[in-house]
Chains A and B, each alone.
Chain A
């Protein structure tokens, strides 16, 4: 049973527009969430995180929103750039130092 779900395998967005990547989780014990970005032939790199005590965390063009009641989080990228084209993984853990459970990833393509 998948505990972290990214139901959109891919997303295409025009440069300059907003990209919204979604993630759902089923385990109510998860209280820490992270987004990782992965380019082809490279390892994932950390992008942004959020604790369950917050509902929003922002870092430059990247904002993560958390809706605990819906067990849903989303990553907003504004404005989207061609260099943002990558696979984005959502991950969840119990505590900020718990083991990570990853979603399957969403491939974002930002077209010029």
Chain B
């Protein structure tokens, strides 16, 4: 049972480059989420999705794009990476009608 996975686990890129972080879950959870974790800020919601083809902005969506063509995948794209997007990114999923979000292991992204 793979659960929820993220790839890559570590990524170094340069300012201005496009980067896509992948998230895959095997539970068929309808809800999926992207968070970033920064020192002094805890976890902040970037985007979420209630189902395939339904996405919505969270607290800090600027500079990010998401898509959800399949229930199991929820990629996060930084179209033109900036240094302020250096962070640890967590994907999470939740079964509709329940309260618990299940988190992936995270992707540590460094933008030089």
Contact = CB atoms under 8 A, between A and B. Distances in A.
Residue among A44, A49, A103, A105 with the highest chain B CB neighbour number at 10 A = A44
Interface in A56-112: 89, 91, 96-97, 99-105
A43 B107 CA distance: 10
A46 B101 contact: yes
B74 interface: no
B106 A42 contact: yes
A32 interface: yes
Interface string B5-39: 00000000000000000000000000001010000
A43 B103 contact: yes
Contacts of A96: 98-99
Given A43-B90, A43-B92, A44-B90, A100 B103 contact: no
Interface in A5-19: 6
Contacts of A4: 42
Contacts, number: 54
A25 B17 CA distance: 38
Given A100-B45, A102-B43, A41 B106 contact: yes
A32 B48 CA distance: 19
A102 B103 contact: no
A104 B44 CA distance: 10
Nearest to A95: B99
Nearest to A97: B99
A97 B33 CA distance: 13
Contacts of B97: 97
Contacts of A44: 43, 90, 103
Contacts of B64: none
For the complex of A and B, 10 pairs with smallest distance between CB atoms: A43-B103, A104-B42, A102-B43, A96-B99, A102-B42, A46-B100, A44-B103, A43-B105, A43-B104, A43-B90
Interface of B: 4, 33, 35, 40-45, 48, 58-59, 90, 92, 94, 96-106
